[in-house]
């Protein structure tokens, strides 16, 4: 059993990896944790024998780092019809607003307007109510540390 904790006290089961049984041969086992939230994590193995008894391995400590800079990525796919994904990265917890504008500079939609934690995020955007054309999406992010980030990208809707 693979277990993870963020405080060395409360461990959660992540996965069960089937063992090779009693053997004198060296065996390698692998588990990849898909965690993306920045922070320090502790892992241990719980070896369970056939009679129900168990032993824990030594703790292994690792640190997942978050993004170092603000990033607004190009939407994908682009051109799109009618769904697209917009990804952005935050180096600190931030209040984020992403707005959509037409070529005349008129706001046509607000994609998000809320707090986000440090890390990588993505928003799915459905433009089925919009007409074909070029649009611009702008992110305004205000970090809890006082940092500000503004960036604009172009997207093309082709129905």
CATH number of residue 128's parent domain? 2.60.40.2550
What's the pLDDT at 116? 96
Q: Indicate if 151 and 81 belong to the same structural domain.
A: yes
Say if residue 109 is in the same domain as residue 139.
Answer: yes
Based on the domain organization, do 97 and 153 belong to the same domain?
yes
Buried (b) or exposed (e) across 6-31, using 16+ Cβ within 10 A?
A: eeeeebeeeeeeeeeeeeeeeeeeee
- Report pLDDT for 115: 97
The domain of 59 spans 2-64
109-152 pLDDT, tens digit per residue, is 999 999 999 999 999 999 999 999 999 999 999 999 999 999 99
- How many C-beta atoms lie closer than 10 Å to residue 83's C-beta? 11
pLDDT digits over 40-80, tens only?
999 999 988 888 889 999 999 998 888 999 999 999 999 99
The tokens for 152 are 């604009």
The overall pTM is greater than 0.85: no
Same domain, 94 and 146: yes
* CB distance 155 to 134 below 8 Å: yes
Q: 8 and 51 share a domain?
A: yes
Task: Tell me which of 40, 64, 88 is where a domain ends.
Answer: 64
Closest to 51 in 3D by CA, of 22, 17, 16: 22
The answer on pLDDT for 20 being more than 80 is no
Are 18 and 49 contained in the same domain? yes
Whether residue 110 sits in one domain with residue 86 = yes
Domain final residue, candidates 48, 64, 80:
64
Residues 30 and 90 in one domain: no
Number of compact structural domains in the chain: 2
> Is residue 48 located within the same domain as residue 23?
yes
Residue 97: count of CB within 10 angstroms of its CB:
15
Same domain, 92 and 153: yes
Among the residue ranges 11-15, 31-35, 78-82, 84-88, the one predicted with the least confidence is 31-35
Residues 108 and 133 in one domain: yes
**End position of a domain, from candidates 47, 64, 81:** 64
Higher per-residue pLDDT: 47 or 103 = 103
Co-location of 45 and 89 in the same domain: no
């Amino acid at each position: 059993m693979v277990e993870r904790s963020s405080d060395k006290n409360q461990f959660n089961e992540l996965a069960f990896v089937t063992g090779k049984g009693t053997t004198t041969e060296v065996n390698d086992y692998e588990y990849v944790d898909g965690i993306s939230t920045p922070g320090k994590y502790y892992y241990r193995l719980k070896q369970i024998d056939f009679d129900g008894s168990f032993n824990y391995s030594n703790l292994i400590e690792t640190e997942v780092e978050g993004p170092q800079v603000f990033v607004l990525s190009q939407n994908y796919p682009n051109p799109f019809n009618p769904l697209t994904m917009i990804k952005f990265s935050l180096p600190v917890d931030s209040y984020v607003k992403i707005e959509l504008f037409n070529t005349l500079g008129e706001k046509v939609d607000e994609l998000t307007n809320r707090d986000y934690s440090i890390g990588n995020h993505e928003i799915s955007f459905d433009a089925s109510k919009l007409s074909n054309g070029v649009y611009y999406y702008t992110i305004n992010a205000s970090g809890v540390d006082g940092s500000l980030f503004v960036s604009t990208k172009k997207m093309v809707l082709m129905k």
